[in-house]
Amino acid sequence: MRNKIRTSLTMLGIIIGVGAVITMVSIGEGSKQSIRSQLSGMGSNMITIRTFSNSTVGGGARLGTSGLQTLKVEDAVSIQNEASYITNVSPAVSTRGQAINASLNWPTTLQGVSPSYLDIRDWKLQSGISFTQEDVTSSGKVCLLGQTVRDNIYTGGENPVGSIIRFNKIPFKVIGVLEKKGENTFGQDQDDIILAPYTTVQKRMLAISYIQNIYASAIDEKSSDAATKEVTAILRANHNLKNSEDDDFTVRTQAELISTMSSTSQLLTVLLTAIAAISLLVGGIGIMNIMYVSVTERTKEIGLRMAIGARGIDILLQFLTEAILISVTGGIIGVILGISASKLVTLFLSWPTLVSQSSVILSFVICSVTGVFFGYYPAQKASRLDPIEALHYE
């Protein structure tokens, strides 16, 4: 207390270190939670099957077969009928073009799917109705609008349900509007889309017989691995692939994507936290330095205390307690700073943050350990001073 400025400056390293660690951890935890939330919003148990352009080896060189289109509607039907861990299946094809309403137009994606696609994506309707299997069978020219498309070609706030729009000169009747999904983890606008029966897009827009993707949903997130194995076995049988041949398709689950993205985010959090922890190390060294100065300045005081009966352990505890108090007090201020900084990051930068209880507890533990570790040697030095020499010290 007699050296307030010096003590405050000593605490500064601890304050900055703890505040930085808590802020970095909260940003990392917030990003992981945001990734999980966004990917779960796409359907946490969703499985995506895509055509895989397998490479064959010829004459010692790999020959690409990117022109092969191996997925058929029959594959989707087989998965629906044979897979016990799958609840819904939807073939999918897509194309880009202009959505036109009167004089307004908007470049967007027209995706052809089956009615079960909305259940797979856990996507609700804001208004209207969804198309049916009958629309798929008849290749009906009906569609559902995403919010972004609706906002850009219906600027007057009118209800588009029942109206006719054109997509690349083909008329479609709007029968429903999808609820807002927002951006996905990769920054893509999920609402910039039009959904229609996949047969309509296949025949009237693309003139193809194959499908580009198959979307499916497992019974639950835990069943994703078992469902993936089932789907792989069914498609390999459908495509007459021998045991020695590689898959001509890829099967990906949201659980895999969540795990990959979370691992990347975790690695970044660890890196940033390690950088922030350097401040704690600098703060600890600062405590050790100031305790050395304190021992030197108070040598006569130490000698006097020992001359009237103070033991070495009493002197050790005196200086060790002082070091711990400095680090813990700095830690408390650092925690307040870290929590405040996390809230400011969310407020001004719109980054998701999540202050975890474990990071706060860990900060206090680190502060205490820092005080003991860096304060012990100077305190031990003080406790071993010879009382006679200490009293004569100038």
Asked if residue 231 and residue 101 are part of one domain, the reply reads yes
Asked if residue 144 and residue 58 are part of one domain, the reply reads yes
Asked if residue 222 and residue 135 are part of one domain, the reply reads yes
Q: Is residue 47 included in any domain, yes or no?
A: no
pLDDT for the residue numbered 56: 39
Asked if residue 186 and residue 284 are part of one domain, the reply reads no
Single residue among 208, 225, 247 that ends a domain in this structure: 247
Q: Is residue 324 included in any domain, yes or no?
A: yes
Strand, helix or coil for residue 250: strand
Q: Is residue 9 included in any domain, yes or no?
A: yes
Place of tokens 């040598």: 299
Backbone angles phi, psi at 160, to 5 degrees: -75, -15
Q: Is residue 374 included in any domain, yes or no?
A: yes
pLDDT for the residue numbered 389: 77
Single residue among 208, 224, 247 that ends a domain in this structure: 247
Question: How many distinct structural domains can be found in the chain?
Answer: 2
Q: Is residue 45 included in any domain, yes or no?
A: no
pLDDT for the residue numbered 10: 79
Cα–Cα distance for residue pair 309/332, rounded to 1 Å: 35
Tens place of pLDDT per residue across the chain (394 aa)? 777 887 888 788 788 888 888 888 888 888 777 766 665 555 557 889 988 654 333 333 333 434 457 799 999 999 999 999 999 999 999 999 999 998 899 999 999 999 999 998 888 999 999 999 999 999 999 999 999 999 999 988 889 999 999 998 899 999 999 999 887 656 678 899 999 999 999 999 999 989 999 999 888 777 888 888 999 999 999 998 888 888 888 888 866 666 666 677 677 777 777 777 777 777 778 878 887 787 877 788 888 888 888 888 888 888 888 888 888 888 899 899 999 999 998 888 888 888 878 878 887 787 778 778 888 888 888 888 787 776 766 5
Asked if residue 239 and residue 264 are part of one domain, the reply reads no
The pTM of this model reads 0.62
CA proximity to 126, closest of 155, 151, 103, 90: 151
Q: Which amino acid is at 351?
A: W
pLDDT for the residue numbered 91: 95
Asked if residue 379 and residue 236 are part of one domain, the reply reads no
Looking at residue 189, what DSSP letter applies?
B
Encoding tokens for residue 40?
Answer: 């779960």
Q: Where are the alpha helices (DSSP H) in the chain?
A: 4-41, 73-82, 117-120, 133-137, 147-153, 198-200, 224-238, 254-297, 299-307, 312-349, 357-383, 387-391
- Note down the domain range covering 355: 4-38+259-391
Single residue among 225, 247, 269 that ends a domain in this structure: 247
Cα–Cα distance for residue pair 9/186, rounded to 1 Å: 43
Q: By the 8 A CB rule, do 90 and 117 touch? A: yes
